[in-house]
Structure 1
Amino acid sequence: MSEVEKRLELAGLNLPPAPLPGGMYTPVRPFGMRCAYLSGVACNLQGGETFEGKVGAELTLEQAEKAAEQCALNALAVLKANIGDLDRIASVVKLLGFVASANDFYAQPQVMNGASELLCLAFGDQIGKAARSAIGVNVLPGNVPVEIELIVELRD
């Protein structure tokens, strides 16, 4: 078990099974000497908790933050399945978040705090605190409220 997984376990969190790709793409694409780009990852668990709808209409800010946290857990599961050991991650470089938002919902950055806080819990601030964008959109695939992408730097 990696140190990252031990920190999550101490917080009462476990990695879910890695979500399968929802289309014709690769979940993780390595590039350069030590980087990897993670395709979009949604917030639902296979056979488990689901989040649906727009934030500010069907979901509250608190529910959306929880959905963003689940996105980050799912993203870590995908990374583990593709790179092996999560301790290979030297830095979370970029977190890009999409939030399906009601027309009068403007707190997308607060929603994405759920993912950012999970990454900092897993890796510590030095590695887990990433550059970040939080973008409000009209709809996401499967009517999920949150989807994230990551760029990570890997250790040799």
Structure 2
Amino acid sequence: MKMADVYAKMKELGVTLPEPPAKGGIYTPVQEFGDKLLYCSGCGPAIGEENVIGTLGKDLTVEDGQKAARNCALNLLANLHDKLGDLNRIKRFVKVLGFVRSADDFQQQPQVINGGSQLILDLFGEEKGLPARTAIGTNATPGGIACEIEVLVEYE
């Protein structure tokens, strides 16, 4: 069975890929390893001039965090598109790791990272887009961003 075209699904959902984010240090945005695996360095929520800065449970709501996580996923997809040339080459998302800048008593990190996971699921479907996942809280993030997400994918 031929899977749906990711770009057609993006168009249907009104999703536009941003430009790949500028690197924030000395690293490779997407590193190939093993047999058709890609490790994607963590991406934050900045898209163009838009960014989500703040601490969940203090000055940001879960909904704010979900928007930030969705933007992180868009940036990751932009980097993957840049590396692969075609997101339809993604065989499956293997792992998602999300870091959420959190107040000491904030415990809804999984709900925040759902903002990015939902986008991946919506675009790629359950078979490809429902990976293993970890969502953890941290007291600080680069530039005070609400969250940062990294992924591991297998491609064809």
Shift of 1:18: 0.7
Distance 1:103 1:18 in 2: 32
Asked if 2 retains the 8 angstrom alpha-carbon contact of 1:122 and 1:128, the reply is yes
Distance 1:13 1:119 in 2: 11
Counterpart code for 1:89? I
**Per-residue displacement from partner, 1:47-95 (whole Å, max 9, x unpaired)?**
2x21001111111001101110111011000110111110010000000
Distance 1:90 1:146 in 2: 26
Distance 2:89 2:33 in 1: 15
Structure 2 counterpart of 1:26, from 28, 42, 46: 28
Distance 1:69 1:115 in 2: 4
Distance 2:17 2:43 in 1: 14
Match of 1:134 in 2: 135
Structure 1 counterpart of 2:8, from 6, 21, 28: 6
Shift of 1:6: 1.8
Q: Confirm whether residue 102 of structure 1 aligns to residue 117 of structure 2.
A: no
Shift of 1:104: 1.1
Secondary structure in 2 aligned to 1:124?
helix
Match of 2:60 in 1: 59
Match of 1:73 in 2: 74
Asked if 2 retains the 8 angstrom alpha-carbon contact of 1:5 and 1:14, the reply is no
Match of 1:92 in 2: 93
Shift of 1:5: 2.1
Percentage of pairs with the same residue: 46
Counterpart code for 2:29? P
Shift of 1:118: 0.4
Counterpart code for 1:144? I
Q: Which runs of 5+ in 1 are unaligned?
A: none
Distance 2:34 2:8 in 1: 29
Q: Give the aligned CA root-mean-square deviation in angstroms.
A: 1.1
Q: Which runs of 5+ in 2 are unaligned?
A: none
Match of 2:42 in 1: 40
TM-score by structure 2 length? 0.95
Shift of 1:46: 2.0
Distance 2:65 2:41 in 1: 20
